[in-house]
Structure 1
Amino acid sequence: MTDGYILGIDIGGTFTDMVLLDTHARQLAVHKCLTTPGDPAEGVMRGLTEWFTHIQVPPRSVATIIHATTLITNSLIERKGAPTGLLTTEGCRDILEIGRENRYDLYELALELPKPLAPREWRREWRERMRADGEVLTPLVPEQAVREAAALRQTGVESLAICFLHAHVNDAHEQAVRRLLEAQYPGLPLSLSSEVAREIGEYERTTTTVVNAYVQPLAQRYLGDLERRLNGFGCCGPLYIMLSSGGVTAADTAAQVPVRMIESGPAAGALAGSFFGGLGEQRQVIAFDMGGTTAKACLIDDGQPEIAFSFEAARVQRFKKGSGFPLQIPAIDLLEVGAGGGSIARIDGMGLLKVGPDSAGAEPGPACYGRGGTQPTVTDADLVLGYLNPDYFLGGTMALDVAAAEAAIRDHVAQPLGIDVQRGAWGIHDIINEQMASAMRVHIAEKGKDPREYTIVATGGAGPLHAYRIAEKLHIRRILCPLAAGVASTIGLLVAPPKVDLVHSRVWRVREIDWAALNQLYADLENRARAILKPMGEAGTQLTLSRFADMRYVGQGHTIVVPLPLGELNAAMQSDIEAQFEAVYQQLYGRSLPGVAIEGITWRLTALGQGTALDMAQAQTTSEQAGAAQRGQRAIYLPEAQAYVDVPVYNRYALQAGMQIDGPAILEERESTVVMGQRGRGTVDQAGNLTVTLDNA
């Protein structure tokens, strides 16, 4: 993307990961430090100060900064956004509560639905109306607009969402209200549905706009503060932000539509899985990223993560579809499981061992961190089982307390179950692996895929430690563990391209499309995309464009996404477009409906710039000295032997290309640990990545 140093920063729930790429010397430096939940930017600056002093890199040499954060997601879940009002068309005030009238759990009598982010007293109706075709039915009354906005401001509203009926077709009324309010209340954050989510679907468009308004003031303050602190530190390069769709954009752009940052960090992890899978010449990959709070998995075919054009956030029941806010934004299609190193183990009311989904996070953290935590976690179990080295966690900068881990497991798991500590630790470890494997098995089956055809790319601080046992449960034969796996998401940031996804809903039957209007629609989207990415320099001007359409059979309520050709569209293409739709429909549902009319609902454009070309075979990781390949032996628990067994421990930084290591074995690096079972054999490639093959998986 640029010459000089590129700095990637990924703030997670437990740790903040950083990577620094010297584009001239082809060197990578990596760093990991604890997240500071109360002020995430403080943890970043503290980590940068310590790290840059150690590696002796002047901050002013950083040319570009790319950032991923969980701040937006956390503010939604914890309800820490701004007081938000909604201005909408007369008769639509209660759409946030009416929704689609769906029940996400048919058998739950006391069903809990997500409470609207804009309470009813902060939702106001205006007498205005557009027809479905965009013609004005009821003109907007400017005086009413000013009165309603003034009333909301007096109640303490700090951010406004504006969502008028059919504004996705004609946004004239929304734009008129913007001009009025900007003149009356300069600086008041405004979110227009026609800019945030210009799609059909009144409920989803409204929720997306309200969520954007809710987090916008926080995002603007946070990104502005982070940029000022980085500049004060000496890092004066442009700040780019990772989006949920797997691309980056300028911080100013992200601050206007922060709803697109909700899956920022997980998207970087998926890109890292795709990148390392490509290095290992693996075409079908499960990108598995397990950190301190959650684990994520993403299916990647032919190097491309699947994109979903809508998803849910802030679910009442975290792992139940339909219990959150539906958002009309593009995002990498991810499976999320409440399984991380900090996941807490407990005995439930039926006397059964449960693990997660709640996490100890960074504060107080697992018991072994010695920061006040007393509940047993997955990390505590991994330490007791011998998988983690208490003297080499984070490269020895953070000692782990084995006695505290044993005490937590003994008091809260082993004694209540009448078992010893080691068996309790294995129970925690095995249950969390089974939870992840089961969730992945269902997710893959829903996609119509076979897990045995895939390679797991294990990243995150805990990913390489748990990947082997998960692969066993899924009968997967190959695992790829990248070097610096514990900070791999930040490497995903480095290779992420500038990206923008734009959309415009307009309903046409394929055989009745106004081709001139459709071509103009795509021309407008392309011009907007170029304008958005132009500030990102050369990387944002050399664009690869893709077109898609949401289509369906007339009369259906759901759509499928179909690729469209570039260039001028015309009537001669309608048969090809219909055939493309029916081919996708047949693949998804096993049949098509010949003779039924097809219509296009929403028209999409994706513009990709040029990401950083990163050659890991040439890049050198500078975070550790190599030393001897084998560090000695350590007793670890092997379920095959049902006992602790001494196994060799290897220094990953000292492994040479072509080396083979037979399991069982432990391979340590600063940010993560690879645990290889008895049936595994590891091979090191030119880039230092380890491919583990399981016999008879």
Structure 2
Amino acid sequence: MGYAIGIDVGGTFTDLLLMDTESKKQMINKTSTVVEDPSVGVMNGLKGFADRFNLTVKDLLAKTDLIVHGTTVTTNAVLTNNGAKTALLTTEGFRDVLQMRRGVRSRDNLFNNKYVAPPVLVPRELRIPVSERMDKGGVAVKEVEETEIVQIAKSMQEDDVKAVAISFMHSYANNEHEEKVKEIIKQYLPDAFVTTSTEVVPIVRLYNRTSTAVMNAYAGPILNQYIINLVDKLEAEEFQGNLLIMQSNGGVSNPETVKKLPATTLLSGPAAGPVAGGTFAKSSGYDHSIVVDMGGTSFEASIVRDGNVSIRKEGEINKNSISLPMADIHTIGSGGGSIAYLDDGGLLKVGPQSAGATPGPVSYQKGGTEPTTSDANLVLGYLNDDYFLGGSMRLDRAAARQAVEEKIANPLGMSDEEAAFGIYTISNLNMASGIKEITIENGYDPREFPLVVAGGAGPIHAAMIAHELGIKEIIIPRFSSVLCAVGMLSSMLRHDYLRSYPAKWSSLEFSSIHEEVKEDIKEGSESLLHESVPVNEQTIMIGLDLRYVGQHFEVTIEFDQKLLIDGDKDQVEELFHNEHNRLYGFDLRGHEMELMNIRVSCQGKHTDFSIQEVGNTVGDVAQYIKNQRSMYDPVLRERVDAPVYDGEKMGAGCQLEGPAIIELITTTIIVPHDFEVTTEKNGNFILRHKGE
């Protein structure tokens, strides 16, 4: 018997899923995140499992073959500007590219003349110009002077620089200068984290490459120290299994690879959500799905198409560009801990500020004073003050009601119940808007997808979010509150490679693409072999960034390497036209195209994960009713007495109608009037509107 454990460290809670690799039986655990050192929360969670088995942590880990871990350490470092002291070495004349960005105003702030962009990660005094130059063909126009670099290195020593990013013009064509400078810097700063832009993302576009390299350096020492702390704690308990780290691309990799490329973990935890969501949707017969995860701090929404997580090739973290593959996740500040307040005009707002794990919502009795979404849910009767987290934590309903009354209801001249429902409704609308951004704005109709809902707070809001968007079916996995931890175990080992290869499509020899990426494919395949994935179980995908001549941005199409080996250039061209048409409503067949970048993704399974099935229900569903509770029905807009069902005992084949409440240890499902629920063999709870 062996165990595999998935661990997701969130802003409020650390979620864990343990699976017996032989029987496939699974159990979950949830513990508070220790912000000062998240590895402490991880060990607390492992101790929780050990206690259930009457084992020590050492004995538990002796039976554990695999731990897959997702972390927000990198994300938090960038979001809070709390990374390592970093210097940037760049080509003379391009010192301020990082601060100029692509223009500091986004579309949302185009006409805001008071807008102030977030500070860059490297201040100007640490952005150091270097007298070197490479042309676009990779020919040195001006060589690197070693004496200049030595002087720069000594200056950085005096400034106590902990990390260095090196990004030169046209280094994607020839990285000789970057490597030479790195070698000299390491001689004088041996303990510093030093990264070159071509190690991270060797592509055309200086700003994107520079910004990504800076984030890699900025977060490097922080993530490396965290991994060292975690490994030390695991080794102290004599853990001998494999540790894998979740990446932003929805795949996992080994710690040594991640320590060199910490920027690949900027969406480490959230990226596992759509992976698991797609797995649960597929078990209910859907290849496409919208996956949402509402935790204590934030709300994430993503799309799964044909069973695959939608991947974007670049994004932004706090106005800092990153050009690495990452799960296409839209995040807003709307979680159970989101604070409700009145703005200067007296309008009710919810989020993005959050009470977090500490002090948390008022009802947590940890010193919180501002009403939150969770406090409103408690006032409305959606939460059980005696059964939160399975009864391990008691909520203070009176304190929640008082906070809502004093801060919201009294100033607005309404009852505390009306104020709480206002908080609930605004939270739902915020989340529905977030879903619209990843669907309607990308050419998808949300009504054509089922909604997979996760997170401890998600199932409370699921029905009304779906109702707002016209979504017909809601899938709530039994382990919805630890969805990302499930995703850790159902994810794939993944190694991504990227290189610029600008060429006109009409004159391009298609076979040259295969020649260009042979080494990347070989390296990725060998890495998977080293990670115990045989060649016949590996998946190699090719991505091409293509555009019509005259366009500024590319459309990425992805296909199996067999298409590349077969040399079917016309089929690839057709894929591009179709995807362009889907995204923008038109294509330009017959117009010259050009290739910009080639991408390679090598993937393979790290464990044989399967969803734990539940037994069939025998007898009437009424046998699972624990009691009745007064709740505010969001459809009827009035108080009703709703039966409370014990979701932990409900097997497959249950059917019930709202209004009702289904309680599980780590989440609560609210079933409003006109909604019905069925349970499936895979443990999923399926909510539908009766009229659909």
Say yes or no: TM over 0.5.
Answer: yes
1:462 to 453, 457, 461: 457
Q: Is the 8 A contact 2:153 2:189 kept in 1?
A: no
Q: Is the 8 A contact 1:19 1:490 kept in 2?
A: yes
1:248 to 244, 249, 252: 252
Query: In the alignment, is residue 672 of structure 1 matched against residue 671 of structure 2?
Result: no
Q: CA deviation at 1:531?
A: 4.3
Query: In the alignment, is residue 198 of structure 1 matched against residue 202 of structure 2?
Result: yes
**Structure 1 alignment gaps of length 5 or more:** 315-323, 621-625
Q: Is the 8 A contact 2:505 2:593 kept in 1?
A: yes
1:146 to 146, 150, 168: 150
Query: In the alignment, is residue 487 of structure 1 matched against residue 489 of structure 2?
Result: no
1:419–1:510 Cα change, 3 Å: same
Secondary structure at 1:653 match in 2: coil
Alignment partner, residue 642 of structure 1: 637
Alignment partner, residue 656 of structure 1: 651
Q: Is the 8 A contact 1:530 1:541 kept in 2?
A: no
Q: CA deviation at 1:569?
A: 5.3
Alignment of 1:471-550 (within 5 A): 471-513=466-508, 517-538=512-533, 542-550=537-545
Q: CA deviation at 1:85?
A: 0.4
Q: CA deviation at 1:573?
A: 4.3
Q: Is the 8 A contact 2:549 2:593 kept in 1?
A: yes
Alignment partner, residue 25 of structure 2: 27
2:36 to 32, 35, 38: 38
Q: CA deviation at 1:564?
A: 5.1
Q: Is the 8 A contact 1:7 1:19 kept in 2?
A: yes
Q: Is the 8 A contact 2:249 2:327 kept in 1?
A: yes
Query: Matches of 1:390 and 1:289 in 2, distance apart?
Result: 23
Q: CA deviation at 1:441?
A: 2.5
Q: CA deviation at 1:191?
A: 1.1
Q: Is the 8 A contact 2:278 2:288 kept in 1?
A: no
Query: Matches of 1:281 and 1:636 in 2, distance apart?
Result: 33
2:574 to 572, 579, 587: 579
Q: Which is worse superposed, 632-641 or 451-460?
A: 632-641
Query: Matches of 1:573 and 1:516 in 2, distance apart?
Result: 10
Alignment of 1:364-383 (within 5 A): 364-383=359-378
Alignment partner, residue 51 of structure 1: 49
Structure 2 length as normaliser, TM-score? Answer: 0.95
Alignment of 1:353-372 (within 5 A): 353-372=348-367
1:143–1:98 Cα change, 3 Å: same
2:173 to 166, 169, 173: 169
Query: Matches of 2:139 and 2:514 in 1, distance apart?
Result: 21
Q: CA deviation at 1:275?
A: 0.8
Deviation string 1:128-151 (CA, Å, 9 cap, x unpaired) is: 211111122222222222221221
Q: Which amino acid aligns with 1:98?
A: M
Query: In the alignment, is residue 433 of structure 1 matched against residue 428 of structure 2?
Result: yes
2:131 to 114, 120, 127: 127
Q: CA deviation at 1:541?
A: 8.3
Q: Is the 8 A contact 1:8 1:18 kept in 2?
A: yes
Secondary structure at 1:297 match in 2: strand
Identity %: 35
Q: Is the 8 A contact 1:533 1:541 kept in 2?
A: no
Deviation string 1:552-599 (CA, Å, 9 cap, x unpaired) is: 122221111123562595997444443332232233223223443211
Q: Is the 8 A contact 2:29 2:48 kept in 1?
A: no
Alignment partner, residue 269 of structure 1: 273
Q: Is the 8 A contact 1:169 1:506 kept in 2?
A: no
Alignment partner, residue 11 of structure 1: 9
Secondary structure at 1:265 match in 2: coil
Q: CA deviation at 1:482?
A: 0.7
Query: Matches of 1:516 and 1:480 in 2, distance apart?
Result: 44
Query: Matches of 1:32 and 1:13 in 2, distance apart?
Result: 13
1:497–1:476 Cα change, 3 Å: same
1:564–1:464 Cα change, 3 Å: closer
2:66 to 42, 64, 67: 64
Q: Which is worse superposed, 130-139 or 370-379?
A: 130-139
Secondary structure at 2:467 match in 1: helix
Q: Which is worse superposed, 585-594 or 604-613?
A: 585-594
Q: Which amino acid aligns with 1:26?
A: K
Secondary structure at 1:72 match in 2: helix
Q: Which amino acid aligns with 1:297?
A: A
Q: Is the 8 A contact 2:409 2:415 kept in 1?
A: yes
Q: CA deviation at 1:233?
A: 2.6
Alignment partner, residue 78 of structure 1: 80
Query: Matches of 2:535 and 2:375 in 1, distance apart?
Result: 45
Q: CA deviation at 1:450?
A: 1.4
Query: Matches of 1:613 and 1:679 in 2, distance apart?
Result: 39
Q: Is the 8 A contact 2:104 2:117 kept in 1?
A: no
Q: Which is worse superposed, 137-146 or 351-360?
A: 137-146
Deviation string 1:172-191 (CA, Å, 9 cap, x unpaired) is: 11122222233333232111
Query: Matches of 2:548 and 2:438 in 1, distance apart?
Result: 26
Alignment partner, residue 90 of structure 1: 92
Query: Matches of 2:191 and 2:527 in 1, distance apart?
Result: 21
Q: Is the 8 A contact 1:367 1:374 kept in 2?
A: yes
1:388 to 383, 390, 400: 383
2:556 to 561, 577, 596: 561
2:121 to 105, 117, 120: 117
Secondary structure at 1:363 match in 2: coil
Deviation string 1:201-258 (CA, Å, 9 cap, x unpaired) is: 1001000000110000000000111111122134332211111110000011111111
Secondary structure at 2:506 match in 1: helix
Q: Is the 8 A contact 2:131 2:142 kept in 1?
A: yes
Query: Matches of 1:565 and 1:658 in 2, distance apart?
Result: 39
Deviation string 1:503-524 (CA, Å, 9 cap, x unpaired) is: 0002111223355653332112
Deviation string 1:485-505 (CA, Å, 9 cap, x unpaired) is: 111210111101100111000
Q: Which amino acid aligns with 1:87?
A: L
Query: Matches of 2:316 and 2:150 in 1, distance apart?
Result: 33
Secondary structure at 2:429 match in 1: helix
Alignment partner, residue 263 of structure 2: 259
Q: Which amino acid aligns with 1:512?
A: S
Query: Matches of 1:38 and 1:395 in 2, distance apart?
Result: 26
Query: Matches of 1:286 and 1:451 in 2, distance apart?
Result: 8
Q: CA deviation at 1:469?
A: 0.8
Q: CA deviation at 1:610?
A: 1.4
Deviation string 1:92-147 (CA, Å, 9 cap, x unpaired) is: 11111222236312211122123221111111122221111112222222222222
Alignment partner, residue 319 of structure 1: none
Q: CA deviation at 1:543?
A: 1.8
1:330 to 325, 329, 352: 325
Q: Is the 8 A contact 2:154 2:188 kept in 1?
A: no
Say what the alpha-carbon RMSD is for the aligned residues.
2.0
1:595–1:640 Cα change, 3 Å: closer
Q: Which amino acid aligns with 1:20?
A: L
Alignment partner, residue 278 of structure 1: 282
Query: Matches of 1:359 and 1:74 in 2, distance apart?
Result: 14
Q: CA deviation at 1:78?
A: 1.0
Query: Matches of 1:587 and 1:458 in 2, distance apart?
Result: 26
Q: Which is worse superposed, 119-128 or 241-250?
A: 119-128
